[in-house]
Structure 1
Amino acid sequence: MTALFQDNPLISIVITLIAYIIAYYIYNKTKLPILTPLVTTVILVGLSIYFMGVPYSVYNESGGKFINALVGPATVVLALPIYRNLPILKANLLVILLSIAIGSAIGIVGIYFTAKIMGVSKNILLSLLPKSITTAIAVDVADSIGAVKSITVLAVIVSGVVGAIIAPIVCKIFRIKSPLAIGIAIGTASHAVGTSKAIEMGETEGAMSGLAIGIAGALTVVLLLILYKLLVTIW
């Protein structure tokens, strides 16, 4: 079976697409954030290659790398709802930028002190720092700071799923009704997975969340470059 995967990259792609279609169907039927297609697809693909006796490295090197290459373009698609809400963006540009900058900084500092209290290793800390940015950017950031990419990807997924689950609850408890505030908060903290929930909550929420993904990603990269040496030095 391993040789078959190596000789036919299309098999990995087809398995991934079938898993996603099933995961998307399950999510549409249940609407449970914990069953977001991102998580369910990973589980289904993992189980499939496990029972086929195919190592993940073989799956990834055959067709998986083509799927990975689509992460970047998929993130760019979020520009469409942003374009549709340009008037809101222009009218609130300063507030939006400040909110995302503060949210990104709090995310980094919060992870640092949480890791410090829990006594985790420096490698784990570095792997957790990019947790609130979308996978396409987080993987590159992990490479640049010497983090463990697999842990970073896991942290990104968990961050997104948790954000998607608690966002509606937090908004209800604190009576947050501004589509702008909801979208910016979700996108800054929970990237693409959270944005899928924001889109369900409303087009403006989805657009602002999509906007926050890009800006938070860029700001987090800059902040990590500035804070990286400082955090590692005092660790």
Structure 2
Amino acid sequence: MIELFKSNPIIPIVITLIAYIISYAIYIKTKLPILTPLVTSAILVGFSLYFMNIPYSVYNESGGKFINALVGPATVVLALPICRNLPILKANLPVILISIAIGSAIGIVGIFIMSKLFGISDNILLSLLPKSVTTAIAVDIAESIGGIKSIAVLSVVLSGITGAIVAPFICKIFKIKSPLAIGLGIGTSSHALGTSKAIEMGETEGAMSGLAIGLAGALTVVLLPILYRLLIIIWR
């Protein structure tokens, strides 16, 4: 079986696609954030490899690397929500940029302080810092600053699930009714998983959340290295 995997990269690709299709169908049926395809498809692939006695390294070197190669192009797609919402972006540009920048900065500072207080090692801290941006960007950021890719992915998933679950309650408790504010807040803090909930809350909320994903990712790429260096200096 291992030799079959090594010689036929299409096999792991097909297994991954089937796992995602099944996971997506489950998510659409249940609408539960915790059953996001990003989580359930990974579990299904993991179980498949386990029962076939295929090491992850074999899976990754065969067809997995081709799937990983699509992460970069997938990041470019984040420009679509920005293009589709250009009129709203132009009309509210200062508010949108300031809101997303502050939200992104608070997320970074909060993770840094909590990690230091709980004595978390630096490589784990660096993996957690980009938790609020979408997976494609978070992985690149984490790797570029010395973080661990797998932990970065896990932190992104947990951040998205948490945001999708608690966002409606936070809006209700604090009586946040502005569709613009709701969408920007969810998209900035909990990326695509949160955006799925924002779409359920309203069309404008979903559009603003989708817009925030791309802008938050771009701003985090710039802000994170600067803030991290400043925080290191201040913490000392």
**Is TM more than 0.5 here?**
yes
Q: Contact 2:133–2:190 (CA<8 Å) still a contact in 1?
A: yes
Match of residue 5 from structure 1: 5
CA distance in 2, matches of 1:75, 1:208: 18
- Is there any run of 5+ residues in structure 1 with no aligned partner, and where? none
Match of residue 182 from structure 2: 182
Residue by residue, what CA displacement relative to the aligned partner does 1:184-227 show, whole Å, maximum 9, x if unpaired? Answer: 11111111222222223333222211221121112112122212
Residue by residue, what CA displacement relative to the aligned partner does 1:125-155 show, whole Å, maximum 9, x if unpaired? Answer: 1111111111111111112211111111111
**SS, match of residue 132 in structure 1:** coil
CA shift, 1:79, in A, is 4.1
Q: Contact 2:82–2:214 (CA<8 Å) still a contact in 1?
A: no
Residue by residue, what CA displacement relative to the aligned partner does 1:104-135 show, whole Å, maximum 9, x if unpaired? Answer: 11001000111112111111111111111111
The percentage of aligned residue pairs carrying the same residue is 78
Q: How does 1:50-199 map to 2 (within 5 A)?
A: 50-199=50-199
Q: Contact 1:85–1:204 (CA<8 Å) still a contact in 2?
A: no
Quick one: structure 1 residues 79 and 123, their matched pair in 2 at CA, closer, same or farther if it must change by over 3 Å? Answer: closer
Q: Contact 1:142–1:152 (CA<8 Å) still a contact in 2?
A: yes
CA distance in 2, matches of 1:195, 1:76: 18
**SS, match of residue 160 in structure 2:** helix
Q: Give the length in aligned residue pairs.
A: 235
Residue by residue, what CA displacement relative to the aligned partner does 1:11-42 show, whole Å, maximum 9, x if unpaired? Answer: 11111111111111111111111111111111
Q: Contact 2:161–2:194 (CA<8 Å) still a contact in 1?
A: yes
Matched to 1:57, the amino acid is S
Q: Contact 2:78–2:214 (CA<8 Å) still a contact in 1?
A: no
- Is there any run of 5+ residues in structure 2 with no aligned partner, and where? none
CA shift, 1:95, in A, is 0.4
TM-score (norm 2): 0.92
Matched to 1:2, the amino acid is I
CA distance in 1, matches of 2:62, 2:43: 19
Q: CA RMSD in A?
A: 1.8
Q: Contact 1:79–1:210 (CA<8 Å) still a contact in 2?
A: no
CA distance in 1, matches of 2:147, 2:93: 33
